[in-house]
Structure 1
Amino acid sequence: MAPGTGAPHVVIVHGWRMDGLDRIKALFLKKLVEQEWNIHLVTLPYHFLRKPSESRYSGEYMVSSHISRTIQSTRQAVCDLRTHIQWIKKEYSGSPVYVVGVSLGGFITNLAATVEPRIDALASVFYANRLSYAVWRTVPGKFIRAELERNGVTYEKLQQYWKITEPSAAMPGMSMDNILLLSAKYDQYVHLTDADYLWEAWGRPRRSVYRCGHAGLVLNKERIAKDVMEFLTVRAQTCTVIGRIHN
């Protein structure tokens, strides 16, 4: 970034079924504030205040046995993220935009990176890649799978229906040097097999694999924050504008 331009803007996308942003803030907020960078916290469809009154929990309708709604909510999440990035670029010309996604948020940021050229750097933490795999092969998806099977949907059919949502189906519109992927070796929510699929499809960008499960988002939060911030800091040469928090 050239001298005299504004501080980086970091757009953070949370995970599936989170009922608040406390865990996200615990991960990144302190270090970002110390850097005086701008922080943007994006809410996924059907989460938090976007949760319908009839929904039993935050994020219930984001990924579900409703095949077309899952595609639509994924598309909406990517559109929301792209719109926000484009707004930042318009309002803060010259400032870089870094995107950080956690769990399902990582899936969304990865997908956005394949269609949004204005992302300057991407850090994806414990991300999923194939929704069909996540629903059929992992613990969080077992009830969705059961409902799909009751309605005659096979794994092969679901793969076809949801393939359009897979980040691995396209290449990101940025240099591989500006991508950081973080995964957990023993993750039962996002299997390393699925994370590997994206890593290979994208040509093996920079990656770290932690010896932990999905709970590493809490248990290893200091290391995750350190790795992400070191990666982003290398890509930011100067910060001259005091940061703000945008909800």
Structure 2
Amino acid sequence: MSYGGWIAALTTQVDSRVNCLTMVEPIVDISHVMWESLAARTMRRQLRAKGVREESLSRLFRLVCPFEGRANCAGENILMLAGSYDQIAPPHHVKRLAEHWGAHYREYAQAHCGYRLQYRGWEDMKALLLPRFLA
């Protein structure tokens, strides 16, 4: 979920033991979170006060961006869940990664990390991934 989803996305790129994955509103674009999201405005202000600019970090962010790699597990074994009103992990970012990896994608009308998505996502996971995981 959220930053954990980002770590899960990176983990599945380097660890072949991951064979089934559900990511709930994963942060897949760290640059967006740092430089555009309201969640990081204090950190952004402090970085700018120290002379750190977006351009100076863009090369580094590519190293930790899931878009730059491929998942080790099959796309049909991955479920990505997004919130339509999420401004931290915008749904178009999550959908883009799902398409890049050939993963299942579901979107629900909520902001970042709400109960509707968690409940409905659990149902999606049981229907889409659990049979594959148990096979």
What's the TM-score once normalised by structure 1's chain length?
0.51
Listed as ranges, the gaps of 5+ residues in structure 1 are 1-101, 239-247
- Distance in 2 of aligned mates of 1:221 and 1:133: 23
Root-mean-square deviation (Å) = 1.8
Residue pair 2:20, 2:129 contacting (<8 A) in 1 also: yes
> CA 1:234/1:170 → structure 2, altered by over 3 Å: closer, same or farther?
same
Residue pair 2:21, 2:77 contacting (<8 A) in 1 also: yes
Residue pair 2:30, 2:65 contacting (<8 A) in 1 also: yes
- Show CA shifts across 1:85-125 (max 9, x none): xxxxxxxxxxxxxxxxx111110001001111011111111
1:122 aligns with 2:12: no
Residue pair 2:19, 2:77 contacting (<8 A) in 1 also: yes
1:221 aligns with 2:112: no
- Show CA shifts across 1:198-232 (max 9, x none): 23433x4211111211142x244321221122223
AA aligned to 2:110 is C
Q: How far is the alpha carbon of 1:140 from its aligned partner?
A: 0.9
Listed as ranges, the gaps of 5+ residues in structure 2 are none
2:110 corresponds in structure 1 to: 212
Residue pair 2:21, 2:78 contacting (<8 A) in 1 also: yes
- Show CA shifts across 1:54-86 (max 9, x none): xxxxxxxxxxxxxxxxxxxxxxxxxxxxxxxxx
**Identity score, percent:** 26
- Distance in 2 of aligned mates of 1:116 and 1:139: 32
1:165 aligns with 2:95: no
1:109 aligns with 2:8: yes
Residue pair 2:20, 2:78 contacting (<8 A) in 1 also: yes
Question: Which residues of 2 match residues 147-186 of structure 1 at below 5 A?
Answer: 147-186=46-85
1:233 corresponds in structure 2 to: 130
2:40 corresponds in structure 1 to: 141
- Distance in 2 of aligned mates of 1:220 and 1:122: 16
> CA 1:177/1:200 → structure 2, altered by over 3 Å: closer, same or farther?
closer
SS of the counterpart of 1:114? helix
SS of the counterpart of 1:117? coil
- Distance in 1 of aligned mates of 2:71 and 2:133: 20
Residue pair 2:83, 2:107 contacting (<8 A) in 1 also: yes
- Show CA shifts across 1:107-165 (max 9, x none): 00010011110111111110011212111111111111111111122212222122211
1:192 aligns with 2:96: no
SS of the counterpart of 2:22? strand
Q: How far is the alpha carbon of 1:190 from its aligned partner?
A: 1.4
SS of the counterpart of 1:172? coil
Residue pair 1:129, 1:197 contacting (<8 A) in 2 also: no
SS of the counterpart of 1:236? helix
AA aligned to 1:190 is A
Which one has a bigger Cα radius of gyration? Answer: 1
AA aligned to 1:208 is R
Structure that is richer in helix per residue: 2
Runs of 4+ in 1 over 6 A off after TM superposition: none
AA aligned to 1:153 is V
SS of the counterpart of 2:106? strand
